[in-house]
Amino acid sequence: MASITKSYEPHDVEKKWYAAWLEAGCFAGKANPAKAPYTIMIPPPNVTGVLTMGHVLNNTLQDILVRRARLEGREALWLPGTDHAGIATQTVVEKELRKEKKTRRDLGREKFVEKVWSWREEKGGIILKQLQALGASADWSRTQFTMDPAYSQAVLGVFVDLYGKGHIYRGKRMVNWCPSSLTALSDEEVEMRPTKGLLYQVRYEVVDQPGKFIEVKTTRPETIPGDVAIAVHPDDPRYTALIGKKVWRPLNRAQIPIIADSAVDKEFGSGALKITPAHDKVDFEVGQRHKLAPIDILTPDAKLNELAGPELEGLERFAARKKAAELLKESGALVKEEPYENNVGYSERAGVPIEPRLTWQWWLKYPRIEEAKTAVRDGHIKFYPERWSKVYLHWLENIQDWCISRQVWWGHRIPVWYAKGLDKEALTEADIADPKKVHVSLAGPSDPQNWVQEDDVLDTWASSWLWPFATLGWPDKATMEKAGFDYFYPTTTLVTGPDIIFFWVARMIMAGLEFVRPGEPLERRIPFKHVYFTGIIRDQQGRKMSKSLGNSPDPLDLIAKYGADGLRFGIVSIAPQGQDLRFQEDRIEGGKNFCNKLWNACRFREMNGEMADNSSLGAILARVEPAKFDADDHAILDRLLGTTREVDRCFTEFEFSAAVQAIYGFFWNDFCDWYVEVSKSKLQPPSSQDSGAPRDPAEKANCLAIQDLVLRQTLLLLHPFTPFITEELWHLLGYGSEGTFLMRDTHLENSSQITGRGLKPDPAAAAQVAQLKAVVSQVRAFKAEHGEGASKVSEFVVEATDTHWTVLEANLTKLQRMLGAGSLVRGAMSPNAPAIVTAFGSWNLIKQLKGDPAAEKAKLVKDLETIAKHVAATEARLANKAFTDKAPAAVLEGARKQLADQQAKQAELQRLLAALG
RNA sequence: GGACCUUUAGCUCAGUUGGUUAGAGCGUUUCGUUGACAUCGAAAAGGUCACUGGUUCGAGUCCAGUAAGGUCCA
């Protein structure tokens, strides 16, 4: 009885091997000068995150890369960790507080931050545990968190450093304000959404010409109390006479000037623009040019304040819009309103429209912009697919300063202290530059009692941009040494989504170039050499998977249903390079089925002969006897080497799904469907379907050795994709010894290393097998057409040339088995039996009942018509002088051979037809 | 407004530098289980490669334009 069970049951196998790998320290990456390093830093998921299909894809690919690197003999480090995700995490904890009817302000800053920490201890980082269920071979002993003390020191140190270099400044500027999270956001965190609203046409009465009006169009009438001017284009003849005059502001009535500014678009609306500097970026600039003080009419949570006038004060912004429209209507200032759609910026996280708001913030002028361009443009960093480099470069061309301060509590508190009593709202540049008034340092001031620390924390991305090197202990020399910084940096590959090119990828490149190994060449400072961008996983309707839509399957459910290997194999098989993909559960099922197929092929091997020495490639090769090879042996080995080369190529090009498909096709079609089937006539007792010749023990041993070889190399090729089942079978079939692991202690030989050991399959024999396969398939179809099922035993007469018969005879036993043929004999064609023309002669199907001559005739006529068309087409091609003159020799040769084959078939069909009478 | 992507079988997608009669998986239909696997095997049906033009001896593949869908930037 076989020790391998009838079907593959993943759960215990997965648990067993993951624990064994962990126990043996297989995932540890240690600097080893004897090997080349291979490093991947995980894109740190939010500490609040749970595993999604996107994570499954992304992390499976990373695991595939590091596992393959280990098999190739490299020292692999996959460093895991989580991101503190400032606003997101704070929101989660605030939500918990709300259940107790409390806000973070009730607790105060210190208590609240403590609370977040304890939340994190208790519930944070679940996702890392979930990744383990997927088989992730990350070095968990190195797990990092962006708020770890050492990491925080790096983040704050960078702030101090960049401040000292003049890259960071404090300024009162227009920011994207989130009225829900009550913080500033960077431009990248604002999402433009087409939004339906109304366009209001409002008239402002000219002060010294009662009855004369100037009209503007606006989508935000509630901001009218913040208007400080009406602007027109200086060259607009409609308004030249009015420039310098005053109009009445229709809400919170007051006189405001008409000014000329060339930023005004003459074509839009009436060509006049209301200027509201406190609530619009462009207006702010116009206001500055004309020295008009802004009037801020909004509170931080976007309610109207007292400056909006008594009728609007206290209203929430959208209610105020309605009310403003009503007031304008009553006063006759509203000319009309019409439906309108425009782009409105929304807070990506909170999902509410942002407000442009004038506030004091900390800003960063990016360092190393030009070098960051060069690194990608000159290929020091390669993007896959390459096209994303355009997006990257375009962003760098148009880069704006980065607002790095956030008005939240959870995060890295900015290491700046203000002298007590200083008016922070009235700071001048000179004040900020004065160390007596503003202190910036890692250690803080020596007399803390005289200072107040900055309230703001840093944008989360202003910590994660240091990820590739801060995770390796930078900047502390001793820690770096211990972590193997010199060995593992730059990292090899980054696997991430194109949606964070700006947030993360570009910023990491600039940070690496600025901070790592100053003065050294660019290729030593870049954070990674390859960036692989995955696609986005969508549902069947093409929608993004999201919690709110509920269209995302839980990966853990899928693992329970199909096994981690099945999930991995399935997801990779549907993930073409850099293209979004539609999730199909049946492909995951396909992954599971493939695992079962692999399992059963190994079971077949085990059931068909004693296991011999499988302990190394050399041991197996020593059992292989090339002298005993038949065409099928040559063919399967030829395909094994071809597949090995193809998978190699796929890894260099990051074509994971192509690799999986190559292995799938080879293993299922070439090995299981053909080689294993034809092996049966060498391995198993004679059956009624073959000639009954006794089995040759040497031939059998050779066949088993070849199966051992193919299975071994297949397990190696597959291991990065399906680590658990391959490790299990590796041991069950005796490829690995107790205490060693496929994943750690094995070297994957490439095709030239295998042929280098004397295994050189004959491609001509391989080609012959391909022909035989085609004939088998053709004859099976022929049988089916005549009502003879695949397994029914049929009798055949073949009229073949000596050459063809020699080949058929050499393969007689297995052909009989593959065809379900009771007999296959050489002889003259019978005109009354159904017939078919193949590459190896004409075949008669001898049935109990004679074929219907009329039907047979009709079929031959139809076949002849088809072949005649093909012959004519090929002849026409060859008769074309332009073709024969210009086409390459190989193509010409192919066409000639094709014609010869077609003509031979045509002649044979004609002969059969004639014989039929 | 600018840039990029996609359009191939009922569905989801391959198709490398242009070269026989365009492939796979799933689905559908027919046949097949004591012999590794029904999580399986055999076979079949199914495509004017979005459209229009061009380059070429030859175009799914290269070029230009059009249409539809999608993404990003402004």
pLDDT digits (tens, 9 = 90+) for A129-188: 999 999 999 999 999 999 999 999 999 999 999 999 999 998 888 888 888 878 887 777
User: Residue A154's pLDDT is what?
Assistant: 96
pLDDT of the residue at A849? 56
- The tens digit of pLDDT for each residue in A241-287 reads 878 888 888 877 888 888 888 877 777 777 788 888 888 888 888 88
**Helix or strand or coil: residue A898?**
helix
Nucleotide nearest to A499 (CA to C1'): B72
A541, A542, A537, A545: which is closest to A574 by C-alpha? A537
A50 touches strand B (CB under 7 A): no
Say if residues A778 and A752 touch (Cβ distance below 8 Å).
Answer: no
Let me know: does A493 contact A55? Beta carbons within 8 Å: no
By C1' distance from the Cα of A687, the closest nucleotide is B35
Which secondary-structure segment (H or E) carries A416?
strand A416-419
Structure tokens at A287: 């206001």
pLDDT at A46: 87
Q: Which helix (H) or strand (E) holds A339?
A: strand A334-347
In 3D space, the residue among A457, A195, A543 whose CA is nearest the CA of residue A352 turns out to be A195
Residue A873 CA, nucleotide B47 C1', distance (Å): 21
**Alpha carbons A500 and A267: distance in angstroms, whole number:** 37
Residues A480, A21: contact at Cβ < 8 Å?
no
Q: A5: Cβ under 7 Å from strand B?
A: no
Q: What are phi and psi of A231, to 5 degrees?
A: -115, 140
pLDDT for residue A1? 40
The residues, any chain, with a CB within 8 Å of residue A82's CB and separated by 6 or more, are: A44, A45, A46, A47, A49, A124, A125, A127, A128, A143, A144, A145, A146
DSSP A850: P
Helix H or strand E encompassing A228: none
Closest by Cα among A340, A217, A343 to A270: A217
Residues in A 854-913 whose C-beta is less than 7 A from nucleic strand B are 870, 873-874, 880, 882-883, 886-888, 891, 894, 898, 902
Which tokens belong to A610?
A: 């004693």
A540 CB inside 7 Å of strand B? yes
Cα–Cα distance between A220 and A200 in angstroms, integer? Answer: 8
CA angle A890, A892, A895 (to 5 degrees): 110
| Helix or strand run (H / E) with residue A244 | none
What is the pLDDT at residue A313? 84
Distance from CA(A348) to C1'(B6), angstroms, rounded = 26
**Burial of residue A795 (number of CB atoms within 10 Å: 0-12, 13-18, 19+):** middle
- DSSP letters of A295-330? ---B-TTSBB-GGG-TTTTT-BHHHHHHHHHHHHHH
Structure tokens at A903: 């003509």
**What is the tens place of the pLDDT at every residue in A647-668?**
999 999 899 999 999 999 999 9
Pairing between β-strand A168-178 and β-strand A144-145 as defined by DSSP bridges: unpaired
CA distance A407 to A175: 12
By C1' distance from the Cα of A536, the closest nucleotide is B71
Which parts of chain A have pLDDT scores under 50?
1
Structure confidence at residue A202 (pLDDT): 86
* Distance between the alpha carbon (CA) of A887 and the C1' atom of B54, Å: 21
Q: Any atom of strand B under 7 A from CB of A545?
A: no
The alpha helices in A654-762, defined as continuous H runs, are: 656-664, 677-683, 697-718, 723-732, 742-745, 751-755
In A 353-412, which Cβ lie closer than 7 Å to strand B? 387, 390-391, 394-395, 398
pLDDT at A694: 67
Please determine, for the modelled complex, whether the ipTM score is greater than 0.90: yes
From CA A810, how far away is CA A798, in angstroms rounded? 14
